[in-house]
Amino acid sequence: MPKTSVKTYEQMNQELAELMAWFESESVDLDQALVRYEQAAKLLAQMETYLKTAQNKINKIRAHLGA
């Protein structure tokens, strides 16, 4: 059975926190920095999409309830 790799918001948040912690450490390698920066940017975009989608879903439910 294929394993679904959809990350939860919490997991993404955790990953972003780890990346940011890496950047704040002293032994930053520039090559690594580029890779990780890209990863962090991607994560941020994903998290923004996630939040946007969740907010849309809430709005839809609210409309359905007639609020």
Partner 1 sequence: MDGVILSPTDFVALLNHTLEFAYPNVTIEGELANFRVVKNRWVYFSLKDEVSSVDFFGTVYQLPGPLKDGLMVRAVGAPRMHTRFGFAVNLSSLTPVGEGSIKKAADLVRLKLQKEGLFDPARKRPLPSYPQHIGLITAAASAAYADFIKILGQRFGGLKIDVVDVYVQGDQAPTTIVRAVEHFNQMANPPEVLVITRGGGSAEDLAAFNDERVVRAVAASRILTLVAIGHETDESLAELAADARANTPTGAAARLVPDKVHELINLSANKVELVRLSRQLFDDAAASLSRDREGLDLQVARLFEVESQRLATNRRLVGLFDPKAALRRGYALVRKNGRLVKSAQQIKPKDKLSIDFADGKINAESI
Q: Which of residues 58, 60, 63, 64 is near partner 1 by CB under 8 A?
A: 58
**Using the rule CB under 8 A, is 62 a contact of partner 1?**
yes
**Using the rule CB under 8 A, is 10 a contact of partner 1?**
no
| Chain centroid, CA 17 distance in Å | 10
**Using the rule CB under 8 A, is 55 a contact of partner 1?**
yes
**Using the rule CB under 8 A, is 41 a contact of partner 1?**
yes
Half-sphere exposure of 12 (CA within 13 A, CB side): 18
Environment class of 55 (CB within 10 Å of its CB; exposed 0-12, middle 13-18, buried 19+): exposed
Q: Please, which residue, 3 or 31, has the CB nearer to partner 1?
A: 31
